[in-house]
Structure 1
Amino acid sequence: MLTSKQKKFLKSEAHHLKPIFQVGKGGVNDNLIKQVDDALEARELIKVSVLQNCEEDKYEVAEAISEGADAHVVQVIGSTIVLYKESKNQKKIELP
């Protein structure tokens, strides 16, 4: 579990990032979760955009992706989800 200090740090780190995944009409599926997990291993911190045509609530999408990829939801702001997962091989972000 992330502390509030760690979340604040990760929010500032994620500010300049662009969303690299979009969740649309198809919703969350196994393929999306696998790709998000791979991206988190490479980058540790990513943004996911929830499109307007997505039938699921953005908080449900965040929960489903974070559980499937074993990641932490840093924040849900607007239609964007910020996710963090510590990399096993190439740790880049040092949490406070």
Structure 2
Amino acid sequence: MLTSKQKKHLRAESHHVQPIFQVGKAGVNENMTTQMEEALEKRELIKVSILQNCFEDNKEVADQIAKSTGAQIVQVIGNTIILYKESKENKQIELP
């Protein structure tokens, strides 16, 4: 579990990161979560954009992604989810 100090640090780090995944009306599927896991291993910190045609609640989508990828939710703000998962082989972000 991330502390508030760590979340604050990760939010600052994610400021310049562009969303690399989009969740639409089909919702979250197995193929998408597999790709997210690979991206998290490579980058550690990713943003996911939720499109307007997604019928699920943003927090539910974030929980679903976090549960299936093993990532931790840094923040859900508007239609954007910020996720963090420490990389096993490619550690780049040093948490306070």
TM-score (norm. length: structure 1): 0.99
Which aligned runs of 4 or more in structure 1 are off by greater than 3 angstroms? none
CA distance in structure 2 between the aligned counterparts of 1:82 and 1:5, rounded to whole angstroms: 15
TM-score in terms of structure 2 length: 0.99
Deviation at 1:55, TM superposition (A): 1.2
Q: Structure 2 regions of 5+ residues with no counterpart?
A: none
> Which residue is 2:39 aligned to?
39
The alignment yields a C-alpha RMSD, in angstroms, of: 0.4
Give the length in aligned residue pairs: 96
C-alpha distance in 2, partners of 1:24/1:44? 23
Unaligned segments of structure 1, at least 5 residues: none
Query: Partner amino acid for 1:12?
Result: A
Matches within 5 A, 1:1-96: 1-96=1-96
> Distance between the aligned counterparts of 2:88 and 2:7, measured in 1?
20
Task: Determine what percentage of the aligned residue pairs are the same residue.
Answer: 66
